[in-house]
Amino acid sequence: MNPFGRLAACVIATILVTVLPGAAVAGNVALSAAGASYVRAVCNTVLQAGVGTSENAACSASLTQTVQYQIEAVALASASAACRTSSSAASFSICLLDRRGSAATAPILGDVAAIAHPARLSLTSFGSSAFEERRRKEEYACAALGLSPDGLAFTQCVADLGSAMDAVESPMG
């Protein structure tokens, strides 16, 4: 992971989520209320996915999952680094298990009003936008999460968000 990607992942980890104690590493992350508001604001402002629409729900679900994956990756990397001094594979694994249930509550996110609509994008709703405009809106939404455009997490975020939005557009496939 490049330094910017690591920084972005740490920012996401400390700002957007709460890690739930006692949960397994996979799926142990829930967005805080502020994080959920931030994700909704990105969907509303950047994608122009109307409030209460199926597009907005799909966008929010996809971006929430992206944030959750990033937090899990940061938590695993942190635990791995802390356990690296273990003398055997077994002690390393036990160390990871011991660290997996620690709770950490994120501070409240700043003002969601600070999310500005990118000047390069139209104010046309997502559903009414042409394909290239939709793709740019998806890219800007993932960038609004702090993901570096040259990173794999960004590419995956854009692909997942595109798939989620396509599924809303064509629910039967």
Residue 29: in which H helix or E strand, if any?
strand 29-31
Contacting residues for 45 by C-beta, under 8 A, at least 6 apart: 115, 116, 117
Instruction: Return the domain boundaries, the chain.
Output: 3-157
The residue assigned the tokens 């604001």 is: 41
Residue 94's pLDDT is 84
> Starting at the edge strand that comes first in sequence, how are the strands of the sheet with 104-105 ordered?
29-31, 17-19, 104-105
Q: What are the b/e assignments for 148-165, b being 16+ CB within 10 Å? A: beebebbeebbebbbebb
Contacting residues for 83 by C-beta, under 8 A, at least 6 apart: 92, 95, 96, 99
What residues of the chain score a pLDDT lower than 50?
Answer: 1-27, 103-110
- 172: tokens are 């039967």
**Are 143 and 42 within 8 A, CB to CB?**
no
Residue 26's pLDDT is 37
Residue 106's pLDDT is 42
Q: For residue 16, what is the DSSP state? A: T
- Confidence (pTM): 0.72
Residue 102's pLDDT is 57
Residue 118's pLDDT is 83
